[in-house]
Amino acid sequence: MNKKTLVLYTIVVVIVTAIVTHSIVRLGGSGVGYAELNEAYNVLSEEYYEYFDHDVAIEGAIRGMAEALGDPYTSYMNAEEYSKFEESITGMYSGIGVIFSGNEEDDCVTVVSPIDGTPAARAGLASGDKLLFVDGVAVTSTKLDDASSRMRGQAGTKVVITVLKVGETQAIDIELTRENITLETVRSEMFGNVGYIRISSFEENTASDFNTHLENVLNKGATGLILDLRGNPGGLVNSAIDIADEFLSSGVIVYTENKRGEQDFETADEESVDIPLVLLIDEGSASSSEILTGALKDNERARVIGEKTFGKGIIQGLFTLSDGGRIKVTIAKYFTPNGSDINKVGIEPDELIEDEQDQLNRALELLK
């Protein structure tokens, strides 16, 4: 597994060409293939009544192939779109601060969680809410990048989102003002002799920031540690793996399996921090959060408190095209160390507790 190219940004953070003809031959297969695609291109090029930008047409064909798969997490990004995506994984962007996912059952863009302290959080968006329109334009789970792009924009500008709240039958319009947002993905504090570290998402600097906070609480005399992943939608795979590795001295952290049955295992090294752990999760804990949760739970390294996680057990890779664009492709499923396929299923806690304060109180009770 090339950790640098694997992402779980199938849950999108919104705070958010020239392809030479011979490259298309790789399509192959039965039915419509290279010949038909080339024929269609030639017909349009020769017969369309006006001249058109051929690069735009080729880009549209690539985008259409990705969308035709029906996977909300597989998409094409041109160079400009990829630049914006790259901003999101560095933790600096401008938008409204909502994390969302595609819902294959109803094709709706579904809120996973708002980002703490952002316009979306202040407006009361919550896990399970449906985003239907952005500035009057319908958004769907098959075009998550389009939804992301529409909600992003210059700080200070306004955007109107149409939302169907959980449990409601009538959608409402919410006007938000975009902000420049720099994500601090890790924060910590002490509850007596118990350290508490919250991870809000997994970005480029999350693992190193986590190590700093971990060292701080240990230096303050922590004899137990709470890891809070509630509302954490995921992010970069390697960040979650690196954090899991901090607490495991052996064993599997996670493994993936592609359509050819090829498996790739990530395992822990020998060094680890030996401290009692309690993990807090909820339905907004997804993708990379589930990798960390599965690693610690299956290896019996942490007690897991809260609600069942989101259930996103597929992984994406980024592939570079010659025009500077990228194709983000779902390339494999991932499995917890015990071999559990959690996609569309989620991870059950050891103790089911719904109230947030009760979850924290129970964690403190276990560690004191």
- Residues carrying an active site annotation: 287, 298, 312
| Cβ contact 328:7 at 8 Å | yes
Neighbouring CB atoms inside 10 A of 93's CB total 25
Bridging pattern class, strands 98-103 and 12-14: antiparallel
3-class SS of residue 279 = strand
Dist. CA 243–CA 365, nearest whole Å: 24
Name residue 345's beta-bridge partners.
none
User: Alpha helix locations (H) across the chain?
Assistant: 34-47, 54-68, 79-90, 119-122, 144-151, 206-219, 237-245, 288-298, 356-367
Listed in sequence order, the residues at least 6 apart from 173 whose beta carbon sits closer than 8 Å to its beta carbon are: 160, 161, 162, 163
| Distance (Å) of CA 158 to CA 39, 135, 165, 197 | 45, 9, 21, 34
Q: Which residues of 155-178 are buried (b: 16+ CB within 10 A; e: fewer)?
A: eeeebebbbbbeeeeebeebebeb
